[in-house]
């Protein structure tokens, strides 16, 4: 019999059974311990309570972060926007706005942002500003401007309209602000709080103490050295730690102690009564040499950092005098270093608030302040907003740009079907208290269904100043190569420089077509009140849709290249090549007249180019008004010679549009546009 090749299994011995059982027991114990450890670890990480948090950091980090035990752990919209807005060391600039501060031809928010634009080393700070909006209108305006925005919960209180210093709604708004800022501290963020009636003319971080010895730095209406000043919490720099969190909790808790007190009164009393000292809180009163205002001007413009429209009542008065301050600043920037000490601020038209206030301040600070507030409401008349002034454009700049940069910005800007809206600006179109570019952007804000179109708007800048302004406004921007030509100043209609700029524009737009992009070209003196894509033909058989000065149906029209839509194809590319090739043989002829001639001479027919002339009922202008405001899409300041005249009459058109939006549908047929008188008279000289 053959022996099997398979191994023979022996019965287990009692000793081996014991060993196996021991190993099984140990494995079971190890599994239980592992599960317990993992469960504890999960609880430890997922639920970082105040008792566990100290275990998560080293002793040194606990010493450096004294805020730990009071920090709320949030994961909400405010956390997200603070993280997006703050600097690397968790510092954020915060301003609060309401509807009253974002409306008008030139709003307080507009002027506030202008301060950063005109200031030295301040443009990049906009990336760290959080605009806290108290109502939907101001929140939407903030989002439209592409800023960091947060909608404040106001618990049913109406914070929409202007709140005059000293009235009940003003008090409520200031206390809600104090509560919000305390919440920011609890989330571990330092902040500079700034009123929007403050112009930032230099970067304040170089003056504000860079070390952490000061917990709380606050502006003064009038600086008195080591003596306690009349503090003004319209500008404060606060570090997040246990001391400042306790300060804000105590501060807010005092809101109902005395109805006569503003939140500003309370913080002064907390300093006077030794509360800061009890907390061990180091504070600093900011010198008006640097952090100045209308109560007390800076003593030397060579050092001024901010200018606050304090000691001033009413938005219109603040706007008027802050506009004067910007003019002063532009004038001062042209002075040499040894001339700044002799610089004098222009007189403002505001009330001498600081001097008047001293008459009412007694040993009882709060009582004196109450009597003073009654006095100003009985005796002050508010100013009206002053008009705009234009500045001459004199700077030259030459720009050379790599071709692939245009590919990148076109891809970022275009719609899904590769369509982009293009406009062109130069220095003259971005400067002034209210620029042409500002007015152009306002129309997208005020229009119906036009807000989202700015995502597809490409601003083509002919010089460094206009490119810088575009980037500051966080738009899609491209710097045009100008081959040494100076395109910075205003190019008056039919001057040599005007003609050169129009031809350079034509060359650029032909390049866009060759890259496969359709586009709407629009002058910046065209106001967009409705989305034009619903009126422009979606039919791809139409190659070229162009506006006209006066509409004559399908007959040849007085075309206007200030607004047109064109599709990228072989026919339109050939058109632009032929068009630009006529530049050298069309001396003293603008590109628009050359295009008319090409159309008359049969080029459009030869190219089998399908053209549509846009009805002025929808795409109107000063040459021919729309016959019905209920359907108007765009309004062009054509038949007008100068920027100043265009600005004046387009501003009136904006007012007309606002008025028309308040009409019922059956009333729009009787609406009449205001006359364009500034443009009529622009041809007089």
CATH superfamily of 405-639: Spore Coat Polysaccharide Biosynthesis Protein SpsA; Chain A (3.90.550.10)
Question: What are the Cα distances from residue 360, in Å, to 117, 230, 303, 357, 366?
Answer: 39, 13, 32, 6, 10
Residue-wise pLDDT for 482-514, tens only, equals: 665 654 454 444 456 667 778 888 999 999 999
φ, ψ of residue 678 to 5 degrees: the values are -60, -40
CA-based diameter of the chain, in Å? 131
Task: Name which of 60-74, 128-142, 461-475, 629-643 the model is least confident about.
Answer: 60-74
Task: Inform me whether the pLDDT recorded for 389 exceeds 60.
Answer: no
Residues 13-22 have a mean pLDDT of 47
The DSSP line for 536-598 is S---TT--EEEEESS--TTS---EEEEEEEE--SHHHHHHHHHHHHTGGG-TT--HHHHHHHH
Give me Rg for the CA atoms of the chain: 33
Residue-wise pLDDT for 196-215, tens only, equals: 999 999 999 989 977 778 99
User: In the numeric block, which tokens belong to residue 622?
Assistant: 């000063």
How many C-beta atoms lie closer than 10 Å to residue 161's C-beta? 11
User: In the numeric block, which tokens belong to residue 355?
Assistant: 């001097």
Buried/exposed 645-676: b ≥16 CB within 10 Å, e otherwise:
bbbbbbbbbbebbeebeeeeeeeeeeeebeeb
Residue 15 — very low, low, confident or very high, per pLDDT cuts 50/70/90? very low
Strands 419-425 and 518-522: parallel
Task: Inform me whether the pLDDT recorded for 376 exceeds 60.
Answer: no
Residue from 345, 350, 268 nearest 307 by CA: 345
CA atoms of 506 and 589, how far apart (whole Å): 14
* Percent of the chain residues past pLDDT 90, beyond the cut: 57
User: In the numeric block, which tokens belong to residue 414?
Assistant: 């275009």
CATH 3.90.550.10 domain position(s) in the chain: 77-341, 405-639
In the CATH hierarchy, which fold is given to the domain comprising 77-341?
Answer: Spore Coat Polysaccharide Biosynthesis Protein SpsA; Chain A (3.90.550)
Contact 401, 480 (CB under 8 A): yes
Residue-wise pLDDT for 512-551, tens only, equals: 999 999 999 999 999 999 999 989 977 778 999 999 999 9
Residue-wise pLDDT for 542-600, tens only, equals: 999 999 999 988 776 789 999 999 999 999 999 999 998 887 666 667 778 889 888 98
Report pLDDT for 566: 97
How many C-beta atoms lie closer than 10 Å to residue 281's C-beta? 20
User: In the numeric block, which tokens belong to residue 561?
Assistant: 């290249």
Residue-wise pLDDT for 292-322, tens only, equals: 999 999 998 889 999 999 998 889 999 999 9
Residue from 458, 414, 446 nearest 654 by CA: 446
Residue-wise pLDDT for 157-210, tens only, equals: 665 555 444 556 667 778 889 999 999 999 999 999 999 999 999 999 989 977
Residue 547 burial by Cβ neighbours in a 10 Å radius (0-12, 13-18, 19+):
buried
Query: What 3-state DSSP class applies to 238?
Result: strand
Residues 263-288 have a mean pLDDT of 92
Report pLDDT for 298: 92
User: In the numeric block, which tokens belong to residue 245?
Assistant: 């969190």
Contact 461, 478 (CB under 8 A): yes
CA atoms of 141 and 126, how far apart (whole Å): 16
Task: Inform me whether the pLDDT recorded for 115 exceeds 70.
Answer: yes
C-alpha count within 13 angstroms, C-beta hemisphere, residue 286: 32
Residues 400-415 have a mean pLDDT of 80
Residues 6+ apart with CB under 8 A from 548: 557, 558, 559, 560, 613, 614, 616, 619
The strand order across the sheet containing 291-293 reads 198-200, 306-308, 291-293
pTM of the model: 0.79
Report pLDDT for 513: 96
Question: What are the Cα distances from residue 316, in Å, to 103, 118, 159, 330?
Answer: 11, 21, 18, 21
User: In the numeric block, which tokens belong to residue 357?
Assistant: 């206030």
Report pLDDT for 168: 61
Residue from 77, 100, 105, 82 nearest 92 by CA: 82
Beta bridge partners of 566: 519, 544
């Amino acid at each position: 019999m053959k022996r099997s090749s398979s191994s023979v299994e022996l019965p287990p011995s009692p000793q081996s059974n014991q060993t196996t059982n021991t190993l099984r027991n140990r494995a079971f114990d190890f599994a239980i311990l592992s599960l317990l450890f993992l469960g504890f670890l999960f609880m430890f990480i997922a639920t970082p309570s105040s008792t566990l948090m100290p275990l998560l950091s080293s002793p040194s980090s606990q010493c450096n972060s004294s805020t730990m035990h009071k920090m709320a752990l949030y994961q909400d919209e405010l956390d997200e926007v603070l993280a997006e807005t703050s600097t690397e060391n968790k510092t954020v600039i915060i301003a609060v706005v309401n509807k009253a501060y974002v409306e008008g031809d030139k709003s307080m928010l507009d002027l506030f942002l202008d301060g950063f634009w005109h200031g030295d080393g301040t443009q990049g700070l906009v990336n760290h500003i959080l605009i806290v909006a108290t109502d939907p209108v101001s929140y939407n305006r903030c989002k439209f401007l592409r800023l960091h925005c947060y909608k404040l919960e106001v618990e049913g209180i109406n914070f929409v309209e202007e709140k005059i210093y000293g009235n009940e709604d003003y008090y409520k708004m200031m206390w809600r602000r104090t509560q919000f800022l305390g919440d920011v501290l609890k989330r571990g963020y330092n902040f500079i709080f700034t009123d929007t009636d403050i112009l930032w003319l230099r970067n304040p971080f170089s003056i504000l103490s860079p070390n952490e010895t000061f917990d709380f730095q606050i502006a003064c209406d009038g600086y008195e050295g080591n003596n306690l000043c009349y503090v003004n919490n319209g500008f404060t720099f606060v570090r997040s730690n246990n001391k400042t969190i306790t300060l804000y909790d105590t501060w807010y808790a005092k809101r109902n102690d005395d109805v006569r007190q503003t939140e500003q009164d309370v913080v002064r009393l907390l300093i006077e009564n030794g509360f800061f000292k009890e907390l061990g809180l180091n504070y600093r009163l900011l010198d008006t040499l640097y952090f100045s205002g209308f109560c007390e001007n800076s003593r030397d413009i060579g050092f001024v950092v901010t200018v606050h429209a304090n000691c001033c009542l009413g938005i219109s008065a603040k706007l008027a005098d802050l506009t004067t301050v910007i003019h002063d600043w532009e004038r001062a920037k042209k002075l040499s270093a040894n001339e700044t000490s002799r610089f004098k601020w222009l007189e403002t038209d505001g009330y001498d608030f600081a001097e008047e206030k001293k008459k009412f301040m007694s040993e009882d600070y709060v009582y004196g302040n109450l009597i003073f507030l009654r006095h100003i409401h009985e005796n002050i008349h508010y100013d009206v907003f002053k008009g705009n002034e234009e500045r001459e454009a004199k700077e030259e700049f030459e720009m050379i740009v790599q071709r692939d940069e245009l590919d990148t910005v076109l891809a970022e800007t275009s719609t899904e079907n590769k369509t982009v809206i293009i406009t062109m600006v130069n220095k003259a179109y971005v400067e002034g208290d209210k620029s042409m570019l500002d007015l152009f952007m306002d129309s997208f804000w005020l229009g119906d269904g036009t807000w989202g179109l700015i995502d597809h708007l490409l601003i083509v800048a002919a010089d460094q100043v206009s490119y810088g302004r575009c980037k500051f406004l966080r738009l899609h921007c491209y710097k045009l190569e100008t081959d040494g030509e100076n395109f910075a100043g205003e190019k008056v209609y039919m001057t040599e420089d005007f003609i050169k700029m129009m031809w350079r524009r034509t060359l650029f737009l032909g390049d866009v077509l060759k890259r496969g992009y359709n586009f709407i070209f629009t002058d910046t003196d065209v106001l967009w009140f409705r989305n034009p894509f619903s009126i422009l033909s979606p039919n791809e058989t139409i190659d070229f849709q162009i506006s006209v000065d006066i509409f004559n149906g399908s007959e040849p029209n007085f075309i206007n290249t200030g607004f047109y839509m064109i599709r990228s194809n072989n026919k339109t590319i050939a058109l632009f090549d032929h068009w630009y090739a006529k530049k050298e043989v069309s001396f003293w002829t603008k590109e628009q007249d050359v295009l008319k001639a090409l159309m008359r001479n049969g080029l459009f027919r030869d190219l089998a180019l399908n053209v549509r002339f846009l009805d002025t009922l929808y795409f109107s202008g000063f040459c021919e008004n729309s016959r019905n405001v209920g359907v108007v899409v765009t309004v062009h300041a054509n038949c007008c010679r100068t920027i100043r005249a265009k600005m004046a009459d387009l501003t009136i058109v904006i007012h007309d549009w606002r008025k028309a939006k308040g009409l019922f549908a059956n009333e729009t047929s009787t609406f009449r546009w205001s006359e364009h008188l500034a443009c009529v008279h622009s041809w007089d000289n």
